[in-house]
Amino acid sequence: MVTATSSLDVNSIVSQLMTVERQPITKLAAKEAGYQAKLSAYGSVKGAVAGFQTALQGLNSASKFQTLTATASDTSVFTASATSIAVAGTYSLEVTSLAQAQKLAAAGQTSSSAAIGAGAATTVTFDFGTISGGTLSNGVYSGATFASNGNGTKSITIDSSNNSLQGIRDAINAAKIGVTATIINDGSGTPYRLTLSSDSNGVSNSMKVSVSGDAALDSLLGHDPAGTQNLSETVTAQNANLKVNGVAVTKTSNVVTDVVPGVTLTLNKVTSSPATLTVARDTNSISSSIGSFVKAYNDLAGTLKNVSAYDAANQRGAILQGDATVRSLQSQLRGIIGTAVTGTPGNLTTLSSVGVSFQKDGSLAIDQTKLNDAMNNHFDDIASLFASVGKSTDSLVSFNNATSSTKAGNYAVNITQVATQGKTVGSTAIATPLVIVGGSNDTLDLSVNGISASVTLSPGTYNTAQALATELQAKINGVTALSNMGVSVAVSENAGKLTVTSVNYGSTSSVSVSGGTAESALGLGGDTPTAGVDVAGSIGGTTATGSGQLLSAISGDALGLGILVNGGALGDRGVLHYSQGYASTLNTWASAVLGVDSIISSRTDGIGKSIADIGKRRTELETRLINIEKRYRAQFTALDSMLSSMNSTSAYLTQQLANLPGSSNN
């Protein structure tokens, strides 16, 4: 029997043929890898730009380049800090007394939780002011007067739910009215004593406590330094007294912010000898900030160079060598750095003017000598080189804000109307002394900035119009409906006539009296209200819109620029210099580069589409190759069968021929 065998290795043949057929897919894979490498490189670029922007954000603030230091020669006496408006120099400081808050104590009780009084709803009102004259003995004043500071009265309600020492303490503390209440156990037969402490230091923050509604609570808490005093004074309010350069100063707080402009002093103890305050320009901070700017730029420039440069040592280019997008970013970056800043108030307009310049390798470097010279001679102008800064030549005109639409430049300011405050002026002088009687002539109805309010004056005899002005101011400013909206007034008197003025400026500022039992007595019947007006004028030659004291440009290059006009004359008011320094401009540039419509996004989106197209093409080719492989395998399997059959036939014929007569095998 003859056995047929195949002479073909079908699997090997098909495998080799498919290797050839898969070459387009291999090329696609290589192309895709190249695209992925470019995406990764662009990711590195975006990361570098994001890091650059983060570094710039800390530099896009004028305060970074205008800091001053305030140093005390003896920190046990005082500590100090300075802002950019401070003036460098040295000051002598002597402290003769520290400010302290008044403290009062109530009579002792046998229990801190037992009810006091009948539980009827009772109003406890706190007023703050100055105690003058008289004498203090055993915590009680005799012959003294009390004048409210006009900052407003505060009230709490005591009823059956909280008419114990503990309840009163908790009600006072929860109300946050400027008084802290505690309970002290003095160890006596009636040990529990309620103590009250003013939250603010100074003689003008002494307390007067009025109680209406329950006689027992009144006998416990009622306290008028000029009258009945049911509380005893355990600590007398005191001002801080100091001398700065020999000038005597009195303040209600130990934190003093308005004696040396731009400097905050925190007083710690009385001096035995003068201490020294030194205010100096913080050149180290400026050097550090500019150094940070240079490093941030060099880091970004280095990344752009690394992803696009030719590596001569390895004789190969970086993945983005010659890339138009990277070249564009490099060009934009150098262009911004090389362009002078406009709108600066001084002569510093380029980085080279503060010692920052390009090196041969394209990086930035600092000439410290030149930077020191700039800090010594142009300290106030350095900020305009880096941050968005507005600076006016008029001391009463100040930069408030700008938008992305505002262009850097120098803008002339012209004022046609100065903002005013709404007010009302009494029609007649107050006849003093004036006796205010509860329920008779003690109420006044009015409206401030469109908000209605009603006040009730404290009963008593007012010997001067100024005393009534202070009382009325305190009561108005104590109205919750007003204080919750940030609205308050100032009440003054002139020749006995009262003037009530809103502290706000502009067309929304107004004061008017509408009635009340005290209207005539206070001379406010037939008062003359005058509404406030908004500032008006132009910025950069174009009409601006006013809101209170804020004047904002609504067109032109100054669009979005806002300035505050704090009074002054009408007409030309100098120039507002507005500059967008390098950090500000580069921050805007970085935001654009990282935006969804940036050139990087456009490029990476294009690469992403190419990768997606490759994936689609690969899928199509893979499907086609499956069919090709099937066809090859079918064809070569058939060929193998045919060859096997032919081999069988050949073997058979050979065998038959060998059996024929005359064959050599026979």
Of residues 442 and 319, more confidence is placed in 442
- Do residues 523 and 424 make contact, with C-beta atoms less than 8 angstroms apart? no
Q: Are residues 210 and 119 in the same domain?
A: yes
Other beta carbons within 10 angstroms of residue 663's beta carbon come to: 10
- pLDDT confidence band for 44 (50 / 70 / 90): confident
Mean pLDDT computed over every residue of the chain:
90
How far apart are the C-alpha atoms of 369 and 376, rounded to whole Å? 11
Average pLDDT over residues 150-161: 91
Question: The CATH number of the domain where 215 resides is what?
Answer: 2.60.40
The verdict on residue 665 lying in a domain is no
Average pLDDT over residues 287-296: 89
Token pair for residue 21?
A: 């057929």
Considering its fold, how many domains does the chain have in total? 6
Q: For the chain, give percent helix, strand, coil, nearest 5.
A: 35, 30, 35
Q: Are residues 233 and 109 in the same domain?
A: yes
The verdict on residue 315 lying in a domain is yes
The verdict on residue 559 lying in a domain is yes
Q: Which of 367, 389, 411 is the last residue of a domain?
A: 389
- Of 89, 48, 53, 84, which is closest to residue 68 (Cα–Cα)? 84
Which secondary structure element, helix H or strand E, spans residue 157, and what is its range? strand 154-158
Residue 17 has pLDDT above 90, yes or no: no
How far apart are the C-alpha atoms of 415 and 567, rounded to whole Å? 10
Token pair for residue 243?
A: 């001398």
Q: Are residues 517 and 441 in the same domain?
A: yes
- Do residues 381 and 346 make contact, with C-beta atoms less than 8 angstroms apart? yes
Q: Are residues 427 and 510 in the same domain?
A: yes
- Within its chain, how far is the Cα of 82 from the centroid? 19
Residue 81 has pLDDT above 80, yes or no: yes
Task: Return the residue matching tokens 């969804």.
Answer: 596
- pLDDT confidence band for 22 (50 / 70 / 90): confident
The verdict on residue 429 lying in a domain is yes
Rounded (10°) CA dihedral 54, 55, 59, 64: 110
Q: What is the pLDDT of residue 2?
A: 47
- pLDDT confidence band for 64 (50 / 70 / 90): confident
- Do residues 280 and 69 make contact, with C-beta atoms less than 8 angstroms apart? yes
Other beta carbons within 10 angstroms of residue 389's beta carbon come to: 28
- pLDDT confidence band for 40 (50 / 70 / 90): confident
The verdict on residue 3 lying in a domain is no
247: phi then psi, degrees, rounded to nearest 5 = -90, 125
Q: Are residues 406 and 550 in the same domain?
A: yes
Note the pLDDT tens digit of each residue in 210-251: 999 999 999 999 999 999 999 999 999 999 999 999 999 999
Q: What is the pLDDT of residue 571?
A: 97
- Do residues 98 and 238 make contact, with C-beta atoms less than 8 angstroms apart? yes
Q: What is the pLDDT of residue 20?
A: 85
Residue 665 has pLDDT above 70, yes or no: no
The residues near 666 (Cβ < 8 Å, ≥ 6 apart) are: 659
How far apart are the C-alpha atoms of 95 and 74, rounded to whole Å? 12
Average pLDDT over residues 454-476: 91
Q: Are residues 520 and 461 in the same domain?
A: yes
Of residues 170 and 19, more confidence is placed in 170
- Do residues 14 and 629 make contact, with C-beta atoms less than 8 angstroms apart? yes
DSSP structure string for 39-56: HHHHHHHHHHHHHHHHHH
The verdict on residue 663 lying in a domain is no
Average pLDDT over residues 117-135: 94
Q: Are residues 376 and 299 in the same domain?
A: yes
Range of the domain at 356: 283-389
Cis omega (within 30 of 0) for bond into 433:
yes
Query: Which parts of 167-314 are beta strand (E)?
Result: 179-185, 192-198, 206-212, 232-235, 240-244, 247-251, 255-256, 263-267, 275-281, 310-311
Q: What is the DSSP letter of 229?
A: B
Q: What is the pLDDT of residue 15?
A: 85
Lateral strand order in the sheet of 443-448: 451-456, 443-448, 511-515
Q: What is the pTM of this model?
A: 0.71
- pLDDT confidence band for 6 (50 / 70 / 90): low
The verdict on residue 41 lying in a domain is yes
Q: Are residues 273 and 141 in the same domain?
A: no
Q: What is the pLDDT of residue 1?
A: 45
How far apart are the C-alpha atoms of 540 and 534, rounded to whole Å? 19
- Do residues 106 and 194 make contact, with C-beta atoms less than 8 angstroms apart? yes
Q: Are residues 574 and 637 in the same domain?
A: no
The verdict on residue 354 lying in a domain is yes
Average pLDDT over residues 50-75: 87
- Do residues 293 and 101 make contact, with C-beta atoms less than 8 angstroms apart? no
447 SS3 class: strand
- Within its chain, how far is the Cα of 604 from the centroid? 35
- Of 198, 140, 193, which is closest to residue 168 (Cα–Cα)? 193
- Do residues 226 and 136 make contact, with C-beta atoms less than 8 angstroms apart? no
Q: Are residues 131 and 175 in the same domain?
A: yes
Q: Are residues 519 and 452 in the same domain?
A: yes
Q: Which of 511, 530, 549 is the last residue of a domain?
A: 530
Note the pLDDT tens digit of each residue in 181-210: 999 999 999 999 999 999 999 999 999 999
Q: What is the DSSP letter of 4?
A: P
Angle at 390 between CA 388 and CA 395, to 5 degrees: 160
- Do residues 250 and 162 make contact, with C-beta atoms less than 8 angstroms apart? no
Angle at 532 between CA 531 and CA 535, to 5 degrees: 150
Q: Which of 238, 253, 272 is the last residue of a domain?
A: 238
Note the pLDDT tens digit of each residue in 359-397: 998 899 999 999 999 998 888 888 889 888 999 999 999
How far apart are the C-alpha atoms of 355 and 367, rounded to whole Å? 5
Q: Are residues 304 and 332 in the same domain?
A: yes
- Do residues 543 and 551 make contact, with C-beta atoms less than 8 angstroms apart? no
Rounded (10°) CA dihedral 339, 342, 345, 348: 10
